[in-house]
Structure 1
Amino acid sequence: MDKTNVESFKLDHTKVKAPYLRIAKDLEYNGVKVRKFDLRFCQPNKEAMETGAIHAIEHIMAEEFNNSEYGIKEIIDFSPMGCRTGFYIIMFTEFDQKELLEKIKFYLNNLLKYDEIPAANEIQCGNYKDMDLKRAKEIVKKVVNNLELF
C-alpha cells in the first residue's frame, strides 16, 4: 500500500466484512473531542449503493438524528462515502460505539416506515430529483439486522 496519512486509506478494504460500524478516528482540538465513525453498508469493491438510494438514506437519517424526541445531539455530520459503500458519522465526544450501533438500528427501522423523503424539494435540497426511497428501503432491510461492530 502507498504511504498515506488518511485513515480510511490505511484500512485494508479486502479484509473487512460489511455491514459494520467502526470507530475510524478520534480527535481532540482545544479540549473538544470528536469521533468519526465508518458505517459500512456494502462490501468494498464488491457492491455499491446507487446515488438516489444514498441520498434518500442521508435525508432520512439526518431527520432521525436531529429528532428532538430521540435524536443524538452530539452528531455533527452524517455523510455518504465517495465510494458509495457507506456513510461517515462525525460527532462531538467519544460516543460509545455499541450505543450508537443500537441507535442506528432503531433509526434504520424507522426509515422503513417513511412514505416520503424529508426536504425532497427544490427549496430544501440541491439535487432533490435524485432520490430513491424504494431502493433505500431495500438496502436498509438487507443491512439493518446484520449490522455489527467492527
Structure 2
Amino acid sequence: MPEHMNVESFNLDHRTVAAPYVRLADAKQLPAGDVIEKYDVRFTQPNVAHLEMPTVHSLEHLFAEHSRNHSDQVIDFSPMGCQTGFYLTLAGQWDYDDVLALVEATLRDVLAADAVPAANEVQCGWGANHTLEGAQDAARTFLAARDEWSTVTA
C-alpha cells in the first residue's frame, strides 16, 4: 500500500469505487468554527472512462451557475483533473440526502438549459471549449443512475 498522502483522494483506492456516486470526501472545521464539506461527485468509472474536456468545462459552468439557485451554501464546483467527476464544496454541515437533492435539482436544470452560461471570450478563459449537448448527455446518464449514487464501492 502506498504511503498516506495529504490529499484525501490520493488515499482512495480508485479500483474499488463504482461510479456514478456522490460521497463525502472531506469535512473541515475552520478556526472560527465554520464547517465546509467537500463531496466527490463521480460521473465515470476511474481508469475506465472519462468525460471529454468540453463536457467537463460546460458541466462546470452549468452546475456552478444553477446550483446557486438552490442554495447559497455552494462554495465551489471544481472539475477533477482526471476528468471523471467534480468536487462540490459546501458551507455548513449537510444532511447527505439534501446534498443528493441539490445535485439532482441542479442536473435537472442542466437538462433544461438552452445555453452554457458565460461560454464566451469575455466571461471565460476558453469560451470556445464548450458543449451543451455533451453536458446534457452526461447529466442525463448521471440522473438515470440516481438510485446508485449512495453506493460508492461495488
Q: Does 1:18 align with 2:44?
A: no
Instruction: Quote how far apart the aligned CAs of 1:78 are.
Output: 0.4
Q: TM-score, normalised by structure 2?
A: 0.91
Deviations 1:32-72 (A, max 9, x none): 111110000000000000010011111111111122xxx21
Partner Cα separation in structure 1 for residue 49 and residue 85 of structure 2: 11
Q: Does 1:59 align with 2:61?
A: yes
CA contact (8 A) 1:105 1:145 kept: no
What runs of 5+ residues in structure 1 fail to find an aligned partner? Answer: none
Partner Cα separation in structure 2 for residue 139 and residue 29 of structure 1: 34
Partner Cα separation in structure 2 for residue 2 and residue 134 of structure 1: 39
The Cα RMSD (Å) is: 1.1
Q: After the TM superposition, which segments of 4 or more aligned residues of structure 1 sit over 4 Å from their partners?
A: none
Instruction: Quote how far apart the aligned CAs of 1:5 are.
Output: 2.2
Identity %: 39
Partner Cα separation in structure 2 for residue 104 and residue 36 of structure 1: 13
Instruction: Give the total of aligned pairs.
Output: 147
Partner Cα separation in structure 2 for residue 72 and residue 27 of structure 1: 19
What runs of 5+ residues in structure 2 fail to find an aligned partner? Answer: none
Q: How does 1:88-103 map to 2 (within 5 A)?
A: 88-103=87-102
CA contact (8 A) 1:36 1:89 kept: yes
Deviations 1:12-42 (A, max 9, x none): 1111110000000111111111111000000
